[in-house]
Chains A and B, each alone.
Chain A
Amino acid sequence: MSDAGAAAVRVGARDISRRFGDVVANDRIDFGVAPGTIHAIVGGNGAGKSTLMRILQGLDRPDAGTVILDDRPVRLASPADAFAHGIGMVHQEFMLVPERTLLENMILAREPIVAGGIIDRAAARAAGERVAALAGAKLDWDMRAADTPVHLRQVLEILRLLYRDADVLILDEPTAVLAPAQIRELIALLRRLKQEGRTILFISHKLDEVMDASDVITVLRHGRVVGTMRPAETSNAQLVELMVGEPVELPTVTPAAAQGEPPLLSLEGLVARDGRGLKRLGPVDLALYRGEIVGIAGVAGNGQDELVACAAGLGTIESGAIFLDGAAITRAGTRRLRELGIGYLSADRAAEGLCLAASIRDNLIAGGEHRPPFSRAGLLRPAAIRAGAERALAGLSVQFGKLGDAVGSLSGGNQQRLAIAREFGRKPRILIAVQPTRGVDIAGIAFIHRQIVEFRNRGGAVLLVSEELDEILSLSDRIIGLHGGRITGELPRAAANLERVGRLMLGEAAA
């Protein structure tokens, strides 16, 4: 850290290019982060942010160009190499051992050891207290990582980098899992670290916090740097335009009128457990009417996963009941629920929403393969399958080679369009949409939002779960807050704003 002040660029890139086959992920990228500053990298999907961060972290190597550290070109061979240069990264998916305590997670890979290979717990704890004081954070070191709230897990990830003497912190989408108040705390923490002379580089989609937290913003598009500016010199609208290349119109949604009919889907006293058998939800009462979008706002891990799993027939219901059109469907399987008209857009596109290793065609017909026209008497009908897949793809503007190509070869946004096409192709009456635009670029978000709203306007009912508060606020007719597995309140669209929804998410009254 001592000589870092002397350099003009603590970490940066000079003319970095990286290709994967025909795809140019990074195209002669030049940028530099001055020591002791907070630098944000923004860009849509496939803009090349992640590739660039992987290169700066030593996980990937550029085809051309070089990483710059302290004004000098450097070749990073591995993350350990990057660590040796003081560069550490907090990945979007936290890298913690769930069954171990926070202290054990912090010292992992650099344990203080006394003779005989025994871990020096006292030294570990002292080190933990030291870095926590440095960051102005407080943690219960003996809590298991699995039991720790998400925002504290993230703090731990940052402390771990401090423990390992990183003075350049790279954070990939650090606020994706946080509530508004927690985001403010995180930004305060980053500012504290900056004041100590550390350098912070963070990736984000969320322009408000980028404008709030950073000293300098670099915008990437299609693998190129399209702008570098200070927040004072720019605006959200200009950033969006730079990211997308052209102004995008997000659909304006008019709220649906209240309905006087019985609910289409209703949950009564629903209590559910997660995959490990822990009670996560309930009791919860919820009604969903025809022609409305109900947004569920909650910080990750507050029962929304179990709520949607139960509604989609994938959950473990402890007690309570679910009714569709007044008929009990509490323990009906996924297959039956789908036949009754419940569509499900999974948050986990790669592991549940799609089968990445299977073809586009297979993904589009999966779940409908046993019905005409796709099969007859147990035999598949390739021609009908092909026609059905082509019909589903029409109007999606998805770029693809052949119907037989693996879905994994498509970009994230196109994958999600495919998943939506499959669900709407089944003509559902209810759509359970979970994080429908996670990892999708702005043009894709607009498309997906339009699809959801059009479905609502045709009389469909949507249960929308999202960590993007903007998405909840712009789409929902009603917003329901979920905290600790319970409903904390409900806001009609007209009364909802960021602050009030944020309070619901934290378990406070909306007032």
Chain B
Amino acid sequence: MTSAMAQMRASSLAGALIPVVLALAIGAIVLAATGHDPLSVYRLMAVESFGGEKRLQATLSAATPLLLTGLATAVAFRTGIFNVGVEGCFYLGGIVAAGLGFWLVGWPSTLIIPVALLAAALIGGLWLLLPGVLKVRLGVDEVVTTLMLNFVAINLTSWLVNGPLLARGSANSATPAIQKAAELPRLLPLTTLNLGFAISILLVLLYGCWGRFTVAGFRSRLAGLNARFCRAVGIDVSSLVIRIMVLSGLIGGLAGGIHALGLVHRFVAGFSPGYGFAGIAIALLGRNSAIGIILAAIAFGALASAGATIQLFSDVPIEITQVLQGAVMILAVAKLGFGRGRGTAL
């Protein structure tokens, strides 16, 4: 490897690590200010997320939805599309998969799972078709459309689980539980780690190969760097943008479907604690690279799983993990401002 390339790798690694280190420092200040010892809290968090097989599995399980929302976002970002609509796709995919999961009574696992996941992906893809077309045909900013569509999706699904899809006799806003056959098989007994994790990792790795070795991946990268150049050399950027938007939606919908069939086993109001938005931070932190997405998703998964248990063993409130998450997000985005802008000027 030449020195220039080594330098680039090093700087991109530093670019990913600096926000994390700074976020930990900010978290330490918050902890110290509230009368906790930052080091011992961080040690406890590390132990809670990575110490032992079981805790590791909990971390990976928590990372599963983040892998896919991060991936869905990264696909769009690397093409120069600032899609922030993965959250909405996640909700829609979740409700569609859960709905099929309890309606398709008597179907075998080998049929019901693929059908439900496929439908979840399709609804996500269709959902982002509109912002893609609006961007290409009328120049409507995708940040606005995808962000607004999130609220439509969240409220639409919330209405559905409070009305037509509400489980009989349930006081909570939740659908009935899905069939046993529709549940994603667990990878190991007695944990929540399920087939969804394997699918997610596989898809992220596939994405890495796609970006590096395929014509579409080549075009997506060039379009992200300079869309006007791509048009001039004959790459159909408009159709590329629409297709990537749909692809991003497909992955976002699939993420919701896997979450419904793998972990929640139903759809409930407030289905996602912001997985779609965390996906933005993960894509930015991971620099849209496959390995980066995996590392960032696992880091965020660790925070989430440690946060849940940490308040059982200490008086540290769970909110500290949200402080850390928020700080990483802001710092990762701030980094973006230095490096490259979004898409092309004007």
Which chain A residues have a beta carbon within 8 Å of chain B's beta carbons? 312, 314, 333-335, 337-339, 344, 346, 351-358, 362, 366-367, 369-370, 375, 378-380, 401-402, 404-405, 422
Interface pair A367/B216, CB less than 8 Å apart = no
Q: Measured between C-beta atoms, what is the minimum distance from B92 to chain A in Å?
A: 29
Q: Give the CA-CA distance A312 to B233 in the complex, in Å.
A: 10
Q: Which residue of B lies closest to A275 (CB)?
A: B346
Asked if residues A314 and B231 are in contact (CB atoms below 8 Å), the reply is yes
Query: Which applies to chain B's interface (DSSP): helix, strand, loop or mixed?
Result: helix
CB distance from A341 to the nearest CB of B (A): 12
From known contacts A334-B234, A335-B235, A366-B233, infer whether A355 and B214 are also in contact, taking CB-CB under 8 Å: no
Q: Known interface pairs A314-B231, A353-B232, A380-B213. Does A362 touch B222 (Cβ–Cβ under 8 Å)?
A: yes
Q: Which residue of B lies closest to A312 (CB)?
A: B232
Cβ contacts under 8 Å, A335 to chain B? 234-236
Q: Which of B2, B222, B229, B340 has the most CB of A within 10 A?
A: B229
Task: Give the most central of A335, A344, A352: most B CB within 10 Å.
Answer: A352
Contact of B230 with A by CB under 8 A: yes
Please name 16 further chain A to chain B contacts, defined as beta carbons within 8 Å, in addition to the given A346-B232, A366-B230, sorted by A numbering. Answer: A335-B234, A339-B234, A352-B228, A352-B229, A352-B232, A362-B218, A369-B218, A370-B215, A375-B215, A378-B214, A379-B213, A379-B215, A380-B218, A401-B4, A402-B4, A404-B5
B residues in contact with A366, CB < 8 Å: 222, 229-230, 233, 235
Q: Closest A-chain residue to B219, C-beta based?
A: A369
Complex contacts, A375 vs chain B, CB 8 Å: 215
B226 and A351 within 8 A (CB): yes
11 A-B residue pairs with Cβ-Cβ distance under 8 Å, sorted by A, are A314-B232, A338-B233, A352-B232, A355-B222, A357-B340, A366-B222, A366-B230, A367-B234, A367-B235, A369-B218, A402-B2
**Cβ A369 vs Cβ B229 within 8 A:** no
Per-residue 0/1 for B204-220: is the Cβ within 8 Å of any A Cβ (1 yes, 0 no)?
Answer: 00000000011110110
Known: A351-B226, A355-B222, A362-B222. A378 touches B232 (CB 8 A): no
Which residues of B are found within 8 Å of A422, using beta-carbon distances?
233
Instruction: List B contacts of A339 (CB < 8 A).
Output: 234
Residues in A whose Cβ lies below 8 Å from that of B47? none
Per-residue A-contact encoding for B43-54, CB less than 8 Å = 1, 0 else? 000000000000
CB < 8 Å neighbour of A333 from B213, B236, B340: B236
Chain A residues contacting B340 (CB-CB under 8 Å) are 357
A338 touches B215 (CB 8 A): no
Q: Are B225 and A357 in touch, CB under 8 angstroms? A: yes
Instruction: Provide the bound-state CA to CA distance between A339 and B218, in Å.
Output: 19
In chain B, residues 228-267, which have Cβ atoms closer than 8 Å to a Cβ of chain A? 228-236
| Chain A residue with Cβ nearest B5 | A404
Residue in B closest to A376 when the chains form the complex, CB atoms = B215
- Chain A contacts of B215 at CB under 8 A? 369-370, 375, 378-380
* Shortest Cβ distance from residue B137 to the other chain A in the assembled complex, whole angstroms: 14
A378 B216 Cβ-Cβ under 8 A: yes
Distance, CA A379 to CA B218, complexed state (A)? 10
